Chains A and B, each alone.
Chain A
Amino acid sequence: MQEKTTTGKQINSEMADSEMVKQALADANSFGLIIDRYEKQLSRYIRRLLCCADQEVEDILQETFIAVYTNLNEYNGKYKFSSWIYRIAHNKAVNVLRKHKFEKVIVNKENEDGESDSFVDRIASDIDLEKELISEKQADWVKKALNNLDQKYKDVLVLKYYEDKDYDEIADILKISSGTVGSLITRGRNKLKELLQSEKY
């Protein structure tokens, strides 16, 4: 699996993840280190995936970390630990989604840290949407369109444009081939562009 970048920081991060896993297996309290590292990321990811309220996000996050701990021996280092933990979070979120539909809300909290704006900028440029069209609308408009895509497109677009994962990481998280990731991203972008240009929003 190719590395996204090969900076020293990233390599150290990978080694630290493996080390944290070893420590957590030896001592349950050390699992707190993994929670510290991934709580914010996974919380944000689950919220973007499901667009549900904080309470539901926290419940799913707790279930996710329990599942991570229970299945810690499954991780074998063949791919990034972050991909593995994201996979568990994704599966938990999708299971909940299948059981009951949440009233989809646009979460505006992310505007506070500016991440949603960069998401809109990245996807706008990739789908070749005119800058004027974006600038006229709220970022919420783009996110609303994203929320109304089929789940399979939303999964890959969230991972690529919100979580900034590369194709191999997305493939490992969703357990699909890199080729399928590429196809879904392309089709998802096209669908998104159609939705945005249809002026439904």
Chain B
Amino acid sequence: MKNIKKDVLQKIQEQNIKPKPRWQFLLKSAFIKVIAVIGIAVGSIGFGIILFLFEANFVEFNLASGLGSFETIILSIPVVWILVLCLSVFIAFYNLKHSDSGYRYESIKVFAVSVVVSLLLGFVIYISGFSNVLSNAFADHIPYYSQLLDPRYAVWNRPSEGYLAGDIKELMVDSESSKLLLTDLSGKQWTVDYSNASVKGKVQLISGARVKIIGNVKSESAFSASEIRPWEGNGKKLQENL
């Protein structure tokens, strides 16, 4: 039978084993908590932007067209942000569960807290208008963000179905017609006749402004507008202007 005590103490001395410093454990514990908080924060931002994009797309679009198409619903879903939300909630849940005291709570409760807090904070971000600010900031600073993550691109980049959006390059107004040159979201140039179009919301028809246009295609690069709307604008603002 071994003398465990003697062997252990001898090994500690021979190999100069030292206790790990307390700060290492504190750092690990703090790191786990920080990751959990980041998960909640990213999840909240994700949910806020989901609400903003879905509402900006689906509600506004249906109010304009009076139609509720299945295709619109599908295109309005901000899939990538939903994935971001799910991943963030999972990261928050996992790290909360592995925190110092997290194991004491049932997994389902920890998961529920992660979900509820993310959704609540996300809703606050949405109603405060901050999700709009964030979405624009991402679009301005992250390459290809708009094309990949903003479902408005998918919804409003369908000229053949009557939905066109882009940046005004030039205005051409004469006695017979009112036209503008527009570069659409894919980079293609259009001549848009807006002589008979109603202009909704706070649209500024100036060079550089981004607008959404409902109408129909006249030729390869000619579009006839029936309605022009601002690129930014939620359902509430639109209802006030109608």
Q: Which residues of A contact B (CB under 8 A)?
A: 25, 28-29, 31-32, 35-36, 39, 43, 54, 58, 61-62, 65-66, 69-74, 76, 78, 171, 175-180
Interface residues on B, range: 20 to 34
B residues less than 8 Å from A32 (CB atoms): 5, 9
A-B contact count (CB 8 A): 70
Q: Which of B11, B19, B25, B103 contacts A62 (CB 8 A)?
A: B11
The residues in B between 1 and 28 inclusive whose CB is less than 8 angstroms from any CB of A are 1-2, 4-5, 7-9, 11-13, 17-22, 24-25
Whether the Cβ atoms of B1 and A61 lie closer than 8 Å is: no
Whether the Cβ atoms of A54 and B1 lie closer than 8 Å is: yes
16 A-B contact pairs sorted by A residue (CB < 8 Å): A25-B19, A31-B8, A31-B9, A32-B5, A58-B2, A65-B8, A66-B17, A69-B17, A70-B20, A71-B25, A73-B19, A73-B21, A74-B20, A78-B100, A78-B101, A175-B103
Whether the Cβ atoms of B8 and A171 lie closer than 8 Å is: no
* Alpha-carbon gap, A76 to B103, bound state (A): 16
16 extra A-B contacts, CB within 8 A, seeds A31-B9, A62-B11, A69-B17 = A28-B12, A31-B8, A32-B5, A35-B9, A54-B1, A62-B4, A62-B8, A69-B19, A73-B19, A73-B22, A73-B24, A74-B25, A78-B100, A78-B101, A175-B103, A180-B106
The 4 closest A-B pairs by CB, nearest first: A73-B22, A175-B103, A72-B19, A35-B5
The residues in B between 80 and 108 inclusive whose CB is less than 8 angstroms from any CB of A are 100-101, 103-107
A residues less than 8 Å from B20 (CB atoms): 70-71, 73-74
Whether the Cβ atoms of B8 and A35 lie closer than 8 Å is: yes
A residues less than 8 Å from B17 (CB atoms): 66, 69-70
B residues less than 8 Å from A25 (CB atoms): 19
Among B1, B19, B25, B100, find the residue whose CB has the most chain A CB atoms closer than 10 A: B19
Q: Which residues of B contact A (CB under 8 A)?
A: 1-2, 4-5, 7-9, 11-13, 17-22, 24-25, 100-101, 103-107
Q: How far is the CB of B108 from chain A (nearest CB, A)?
A: 10
A residues less than 8 Å from B7 (CB atoms): 62
Q: How far is the CB of A129 from chain B (nearest CB, A)?
A: 30
A residues less than 8 Å from B21 (CB atoms): 73
Given contacts A62-B4, A65-B4, A73-B25, contact A171 B12 (CB under 8 A): no
A residues less than 8 Å from B9 (CB atoms): 28-29, 31-32, 35
A residues less than 8 Å from B106 (CB atoms): 177, 179-180
Given contacts A32-B5, A35-B4, A39-B5, contact A69 B12 (CB under 8 A): yes
Given contacts A66-B12, A73-B20, contact A171 B104 (CB under 8 A): yes
